[in-house]
Amino acid sequence: ELKVEQNPLFLSMQEGKNYTIYCNYSTTSDRLYWYRQDPGKSLESLFVLLSNGAVKQEGRLMASLDTKARLSTLHITAAVHDLSATYFCAVARWEGGKLIFGQGTELSVKP
Amino acid sequence: DGGITQSPKYLFRKEGQNVTLSCEQNLNHDAMYWYRQDPGQGLRLIYYSQIVNDFQKGDIAEGYSVSREKKESFPLTVTSAQKNPTAFYLCASSIDQGTGQGRPTNYGYTFGSGTRLTVV
């Protein structure tokens, strides 16, 4: 059974600081996705990582994938308040195209 | 613009009542999914459908039912058998680029805006 675990689950950081969110998954998969969710809102796609060593960057966020370690990271550089949200990673299961989601990391960026 | 529309945004259910959540997409996506999100938790898969007239149970299907009579529509009924239905429900879709398995491709899922269901 594919399991996806994120850590930390809660992250309070100051503006301008750097931090990393980790996403571990338990079985082989070739697709990993990162999503952002604002309170009471739906999920917004951030990154799609399709191969080992893939790295993608958008603004202050950078995501990477290590399929051998079954690990993805979401790195936040010089955090700003607008990044406050809950971030989910999700891994595709081979059959049926189902995405299995991590628990989410609630990020709060304070001045 | 293409997208997924969920309605209603808020829904209140009385004890013993069945309610239906609507999900419509005009993206021409093959696969559609229903997820449930409880406060402070991740998303759990209720049902999914890869093609018209076919659907599969997800991890928490008990107390729910779906239909897929049209490619664009995937309504979810929360039945009276679902004892704790209060949650945020998200519908999603993805394109199947000929894999025949409904695997989300480079674009992953597109999500609707969600329906918040409360038992009163």
DSSP string, A76-98: E-S--GGG-EEEEEEEE-TTTT-
DSSP conformation class of A10: E
Q: Number of C-alpha atoms within 13 angstroms, CB side, residue B34?
A: 31
B22: closest CA of chain A, how far (Å): 15
Q: Which residues have CB under 8 Å from A93's CB, separation 6+?
A: A2, A29, A99, A100
Asked if the Cβ–Cβ distance from A48 to B43 is below 8 Å, we say no
pLDDT of residue B42: 85
Is A95 near chain B, with CB under 8 Å?
A: yes
**β-sheet bridge partners, residue B4:** B25
Q: Comparing C-alpha atoms, which of A69, A57, A35, A108 is closest to residue B109?
A: A35
> For residue A93, what pLDDT is reported?
74
- Average pLDDT of the segment spanning B18-28: 95
Percent of chain A with pLDDT over 70: 96
DSSP 3-state assignment of B110? strand
Residue A32 in contact with partner chain B when CB distance is under 8 A: no
Mean pLDDT over A74-84 rounds to 95
How far is it, in rounded angstroms, from Cα B115 to Cα A74?
28
Largest distance between two CA atoms of chain A: 44
Q: Is 80 exceeded by the pLDDT of residue A78? A: yes
Q: Return the percentage of chain A with pLDDT > 90, whole number.
A: 73
**CA proximity to A22, closest of A109, A105, A108, A107:** A105
What distance in Å separates residue B17's CA from the closest CA in chain A? 25
CA distances from B12 to A42, B16, B39 (A): 19, 12, 17
Report the amino acid identity of residue B36: R
Is residue B15 predicted with pLDDT exceeding 50? Answer: yes
Establish how many alpha carbons lie within 13 A of residue B26's alpha carbon, considering only the half-sphere containing its beta carbon: 4
Residue A48 in tokens: 């799609």
- Note the pLDDT of residue B97: 47
Gap between the Cα atoms of A10 and A24, Å rounded: 16
Check B111 against A43: CB less than 8 A apart.
Answer: yes
Question: Which chain A residues are closer than 8 Å to B100 by Cβ?
Answer: none
Cβ-Cβ contacts under 8 Å, A92 against chain B:
103-104
Round to whole Å and give the CA distance between B115 and B111.
Answer: 12
